[in-house]
Amino acid sequence: MTNATNLDFTKLADWLEGRLPDVEAQAIQARLSSLPDDTLADIEWLRNFIQTSQSTVLAAPPPEVRTNLSQIFEQFAQDRRPPTLFQRLVATLSFDSHGQPGMAGVRSTATAETQRQIIYFTTMADIALNLQPQPNKQFIINGQVMPSIDMALDSFDVTLLRGDEELDLIRTDDLGEFSFGPISAGRYELIVAGQSFEALVALTI
């Protein structure tokens, strides 16, 4: 989600939502004609996401889904950190480029040859995922953690789980980004752990 222009995902979102100072916003506007195709694609996707999120009322997950996710989360976290020191959050799916916004852990999508962008919401951070198809029905997960509180972007540990199996663990970089894969289609969980919270993301590829 980053490129040679140094316009990362968060900077583009701030620009489209009018949060940047006038000088910075005008500088980005002046560079539009020279931006690479991947950055222009990010801009178009973000613009569609903002328009969709402004007009969408999200439904709460069914009680049985939330209970199941909470049990998975508790089992994972039980031997890792004292529960009194952390907020444990279940992320809510707020945008999926392969369909209308839905409920985390409920959606099942067909395999596609195009990239898929997904955004999850928690009260502490948003988690953006970009699923890139690979040969032999494999996928690479490129992600970015965008905290809504004052936290260093390179301070998050992200764990990839499939059922009870821990597949990989990675630390975010200085832009809050991480990557997993290639992996096959299936049901996965991501645990995004910061200094004061852990967030569970349920993902079906």
**Mean pLDDT of all residues in the chain?**
80
Q: Report which of residues 36 and 133 the model is more confident about.
A: 133
- Asked if 147 and 159 touch (Cβ cutoff 8 Å), the reply is no
Q: Report which of residues 62 and 199 the model is more confident about.
A: 199
Looking up tokens 């959606």 gives: 107
57: left (phi over 0), alpha (psi -120 to 50) or beta: beta
- Asked if 35 and 5 touch (Cβ cutoff 8 Å), the reply is yes
CA distance 2 to 175: 9
Taking residues 141-162, what's their average pLDDT? 92
CA distance 112 to 132: 10
Pick from 181, 202, 99: nearest CA to 133: 181
| Percentage with pLDDT > 70 across the chain | 76
pLDDT tens sequence across 73-107: 666 665 555 554 568 899 999 899 877 544 444 44
In the prediction, which pLDDT does 156 show? 94
49 three-state secondary structure: helix
Phi first, then psi, for residue 188 (nearest 5°) are -135, 165
Taking residues 66-75, what's their average pLDDT? 69
For the entire predicted model, the pTM comes to 0.56
In the prediction, which pLDDT does 107 show? 43
How deeply is 171 buried, as exposed, middle or buried, from its count of CB atoms within 10 A (0-12, 13-18, 19+)?
Answer: exposed
Taking residues 31-54, what's their average pLDDT? 79
